[in-house]
Structures are given as structure tokens and as C-alpha cells.
Amino acid sequence: MSLNLNELRELLAAINQTDIAELTLKSSDFELIIRRGLRRDEQLLARVNTGTPEMVFPTSPAGMTGGDTKSSDSAPLPSATVTLPPNSDRRYLEILSPMVGTFYRSPAPDELPFVETGDRIRSGQTVCIIEAMKLMNEIEAEVSGEIIEILVQNGDPVEYNQPLMRVTP
């Protein structure tokens, strides 16, 4: 089975007209998985309310047309996921690692950390760096509040969705 760009556009347009949430198409040459989900702000709200991490890939025909792509310089910085600990009545949120890599608290070994316990942070503020595949990724907070605990030591390896910090909103 082969699928050219026009057929892919037609498929995406047809799916866009339905309420299909997920489609998997496999052949000997390729595997195509299409998932439709919540908008970005609804994803954050769902994570904060349920405490369940969720990967959602919004799909639209416009995003698959092969048009102009942005350069890597204009790509958005990764943001840490914020979630409530499951089955908890505690009043803090956890900032989770958005990727696998090495955790760094400061921009350079001889510089001050981005944040310390007790610091007030705001949404969009850089809270740490995660090095992944020799790339330094500045991780931004998605919530404003006070850092009450830093759960990872400088230079430690971190996993995807591993709690990095606890924040009281």
C-alpha cells in the first residue's frame, strides 16, 4: 500500500469531518497514527484536575500539507507538565520532566541556579535545563507559585514524566 500527499490530504479532510479520535493505518512500508484531542489549555487543565499524564497530538489537514516549516530557532521551548499527585489531598503541583535527559539547575556550572526552594516563579519562567542528545533544553514552568521542593539533584539523569519540583500555586 502506498499513500501519496494528495491521498493523505483527502484522508485527513475526511477524518476531520467525523468524530474519530484515533486512527492507525499500517502497511509493510509505513505506519500512520492520527490522534485528535483537546486543545493545549484543556490538556493542562485535564492534567491538573486528574493527575494523569496524557499525550495528545492535535491533527489538522493544515499541519500535514507540507507547507512552509519554521526554522529550529523559532521552535517553542519545551514546557514542563504540571500535575497533581494521584490520590492526594496535598496542596501542591509537581513539575514533570517533558523528556529523558540530564537535569541541570543552572545555565552553567559556575552560575546561580534558575530557582531555589522558596523562590516565587511565574508561568513561562525557566526553572531548569534538561540536556538531551547534546542539546540544552530550557524547561519553562506552566504554573505560577512557590517552589517548595526540588526533587532532583544537579547532574542526575531524569525520565519522561519524572517529578522535578513541587510548587504551591
Work out the pLDDT band at 11, boundaries 50, 70, 90.
confident
Instruction: Please identify, among 64, 81, 98, the residue that sits at the C-terminal boundary of a domain.
Output: 64
- Based on the fold, state whether residues 55 and 85 are members of the same structural domain: no
For the chain, give the mean pLDDT: 75
Q: So what's the pLDDT on residue 98?
A: 92
Band the pLDDT of 1: cuts 50, 70, 90. low
Residue 162 shares a structural domain with residue 96: yes
Q: Backbone phi, then psi, for 136, in 5-degree steps?
A: -90, 115
Helix (H) or strand (E) holding 103: strand 101-104
Of 15, 33, 64, which residue sits at a domain end?
64
Amino acid 8: pLDDT? 76
The pLDDT tens digits for 107-165 are 999 999 999 999 999 999 999 999 999 899 999 998 999 999 999 999 999 999 999 99
Residue 130, burial from CB neighbour count under 10 angstroms (0-12, 13-18, 19+): buried
- 77 and 158 in a single domain? The answer is yes
For residues 135 and 104, membership in a common domain is answered with yes
78-100, pLDDT tens digit by residue? 555 555 445 455 688 999 999 99
Q: Which DSSP symbol is given to 79? A: B
Evaluate whether 127 touches 95 at the Cβ level (below 8 Å): yes
**pLDDT for position 16:** 77
What percent of the chain has pLDDT above 70? 66
The DSSP line for 5-66 is HHHHHHHHHHHHTS---EEEEE-SS-EEEEE----HHHHHHHHHHH----------GGGGS-
The reply to whether 78 and 159 lie within a common domain is: yes
Query: Domains in the chain: how many in total?
Result: 2
In this structure, the answer to whether residues 79 and 157 fall within a common structural domain is yes
Same domain as 101, residue 28: no
Place of cell 484515533: 22
Amino acid at 119: D
- Output the pLDDT for position 118: 95
User: pTM of the full predicted structure?
Assistant: 0.50
Task: Supply the pLDDT for residue 86.
Answer: 53
Q: How far apart are CA 37 and CA 11, in angstroms?
A: 17
Host domain of residue 31 = 5-64
- Quick check: 38 and 21 in contact, CB under 8 A? no
Co-location of 22 and 60 in the same domain? yes
Residues 60 and 77 in one domain: no
